[in-house]
Amino acid sequence: MKKIYILFVTLISTFAVQAQVSFGNMQNQISRGKDGINVFDVQKDTREFKGLSIDLGGAFNMDFQATNSFNDQPNNITTTTTTATGTTTRSITGYRLMNTENNFTLPAADMYIGAQLFDGVRVNLDVYLASRHHNDSYVKGGYLQIDKLDFIKKDFLADVMKYATIKIGQMENNFGDAHFRGSDNGNTIRNAFVGNNIMYSFTTEMGMEVYYNRNGLVSMLGVTNGNLNQSNEEVFYPAGPNANTTHSPSILAKLGYDKQLNQDLRVRITGSYYHNANLGNANIYALIDQDLVIGVF
């Protein structure tokens, strides 16, 4: 009976729905469905520009959590501490941990809105309608992606832009590869177990990333203003080498190799770099006592 119960909980623990509709023709966009699994960085395609196109997408995830905990401490307890100077007795009232039971957690939902504005130019907006810890809607980020510079002049830097991409905005910054394989609020198609790594390289900062991918080469150089929550207020650090300083930019980069060698073998190795001069506003891994992260993923 216990095995049947565990199997039942496993099957219903994650209920996810993914949908995407394009009214027109979106260029150079990674699919949010199953075709986007194990597709990283930015991608180029050969779709023709057919005028203004609109893209709508959504994701919904509902989790059943089967974890029980209980607390048998009384509401009023007395603690006794003995030291070299004597014994201290202290009474604590209203002490009780909250028990948990098997039930559904707060559902999570995402909405994606995009538009193809010009040949090789599109915008994207990601909205969290609700999350497991947050029942209000808020914007994850929005960015402009440029794959051609024809809006300046026809075939302007075409030989470069054939392999280059520019992203500008408040967006999910590309540090490491773990965030490509993780769940993103209501979008759990890339990770059915919902929970991500304990140390998860995820942040959304205002900035720009420039990519150059060619013949398996993966490269990216970016700069952000170092802010997760945007503000123009001065940051004051009361102690340390960077006392009373303003926000410092974050520098990030990625270099690697990714290629499908044959039908059964794909090789990918990347190294990522992230640097912020002020420890207090570095967001990758919620840095506290270091200002440099180098990772191989």
Hey, which residues does 292 pair with through a beta bridge? 275
Helix boundaries (H) for 103-150:
none
Q: How far apart are CA 152 and CA 161, in angstroms?
A: 13
For residue 206, the model assigns a pLDDT of 92
Q: How far apart are CA 236 and CA 244, in angstroms?
A: 4
| pLDDT mean values, one per 10 residues, the chain (297 residues) | 44 56 82 88 91 91 81 68 76 69 88 94 94 83 96 94 96 91 88 78 91 96 87 63 65 94 93 80 54 41
For residue 75, the model assigns a pLDDT of 63
For residue 3, the model assigns a pLDDT of 47
For residue 269, the model assigns a pLDDT of 95
For residue 34, the model assigns a pLDDT of 86
* Contact indicator for 247, 226 with CB cutoff of 8 Å: yes
Q: How far apart are CA 242 and CA 65, in angstroms?
A: 44
For residue 9, the model assigns a pLDDT of 42
For residue 288, the model assigns a pLDDT of 39
